[in-house]
Amino acid sequence: MLISPLLTVHETAEQLKVKESTIRAWIRQEKLRAIKFGREWRIAMRDLERFINDNANLDDPDAPHADHD
């Protein structure tokens, strides 16, 4: 039984609003963890979530914030 669902490269690209070639490049560069079944890659939802969190531009709580009028 799978702990989290597996997404295709196409589904992952749709989720992130990027090209499929970008997803494949991230897989080749080992930035995004994936599993190969035959000729197709699958990405676990938990690995996609980890990738997003690892690449998030988080606010530094000690950084000064610009005031907006």
6-62 pLDDT, tens digit each: 999 999 999 999 999 999 999 999 999 999 999 999 999 999 999 999 999 866 555
Tell me the pLDDT band of 67, cut-offs 50, 70 and 90. low
Q: Which two tokens stand for residue 46?
A: 């938990």
Give 4's pLDDT tier (boundaries 50, 70, 90): confident
Question: pTM here?
Answer: 0.77
CA distances from 5 to 8, 15, 24, 46, 59 (A): 10, 14, 19, 8, 30
